[in-house]
Amino acid sequence: MSMIDVDKNWRLLIDGEWVEGGAGHYDIVDPHTTDVVGRAPEATVAQANDAAAAARAAFGAWKRLSAKQRCALIGRLGDEIEKRSPDWVATVQAETGATIATTETLQVGGPAVDRFRYYATPIDLDESLSPIPTPAGPLGPAGLLSAEVKRQPVGVVAAITPYNFPVTNVAGKIAPALAAGCTTVIKPAPQDPLGILLLGEAVEAAGLPPGVVNIVNGSGPDVGAALVDSTDVNMISFTGSSPIGAKIMANGGRTMKRLLMELGGKGAAIVTEDADLGTAAQSIATVWGFHAGQICTAPTRVIAHHAVYDQLIETLNTFSGFMKVGDPTDRSTIVGPVITEVHRDRVEQFIASGIDDGARLVCGGDRPDLPGYFIAPTLLADCTPDMHVVREEAFGPVIVVLRYQDDEEAVQLANNSDYGLYSYVFSADTKRAYHIAGQLESGCVGLNVIQPHMEAPFGGFKMSGVGRDRGKWGIEAYSELQSINWMA
Beta carbon of residue 380, minimum distance to ligand NAD (angstroms, whole number): 19
Measured between alpha carbons, how far is 273 from 278 in angstroms, rounded to an integer? 13
How far is the CA of 224 from the CAs of 15, 55, 165, 168, 176, in angstroms?
A: 18, 15, 18, 19, 21
Nearest Cα to Cα of residue 242 among 352, 392, 443: 392
C-alpha triplet 346, 349, 350: angle, nearest 5°: 85
Nearest Cα to Cα of residue 272 among 382, 399, 406, 414: 406
CB-CB contact of 4 with 38 (8 Å): yes
Q: Please, what is the end-to-end C-alpha distance for the chain in angstroms? A: 64
Beta carbon of residue 415, minimum distance to ligand NAD (angstroms, whole number): 18
User: Which residues share a beta bridge with 134?
Assistant: 143
Give the distance, in angstroms, between the CA of residue 329 and the centroid of all CA atoms in the same chain. Answer: 24
Is 262 catalytic? The answer is: yes
Burial letters for 370-379: b for 16+ Cβ neighbours within 10 Å, e otherwise? eebbbbbbbb
Beta carbon of residue 291, minimum distance to ligand NAD (angstroms, whole number): 10
Its sign, for the CA torsion 130, 471, 160, 197, is negative
Measured between alpha carbons, how far is 297 from 299 in angstroms, rounded to an integer? 7
Per DSSP, the three-state class of 20 is coil
- Contacting residues toward ligand NAD, per CB under 6 A: 160-164, 187, 189-190, 221, 224-225, 228, 239-241, 244, 247-248, 262-265, 296, 393, 395, 421, 460, 465
For ligand NAD, the closer CB: 218 or 377? 218
Name the active-site residue from 71, 296, 383, 444.
296
Burial class of residue 7, CB neighbours in 10 A (0-12, 13-18, 19+):
exposed
How far is the CA of 145 from the CAs of 151, 305, 488, in angstroms?
A: 20, 58, 6
Beta carbon of residue 408, minimum distance to ligand NAD (angstroms, whole number): 28
For ligand NAD, the closer CB: 181 or 265? 265
C-alpha triplet 175, 179, 184: angle, nearest 5°: 65
Nearest Cα to Cα of residue 153 among 480, 484, 472: 480
Q: Count CB-CB contacts under 10 A for residue 366.
A: 12
Beta carbon of residue 445, minimum distance to ligand NAD (angstroms, whole number): 15
Name the active-site residue from 42, 95, 104, 262.
262
Q: How many residues does the chain have?
A: 488
Radius of gyration of the chain (CA): 24
Measured between alpha carbons, how far is 295 from 450 in angstroms, rounded to an integer? 12
Ranked by CB distance to ligand NAD, the top (closest) residue is 224
For ligand NAD, the closer CB: 296 or 383? 296
Beta carbon of residue 53, minimum distance to ligand NAD (angstroms, whole number): 18
Q: Count CB-CB contacts under 10 A for residue 352.
A: 13
Task: Write the single-letter amino acid at 377.
Answer: P
Its sign, for the CA torsion 31, 32, 33, 39, is negative
Catalytic site residues?
262, 296
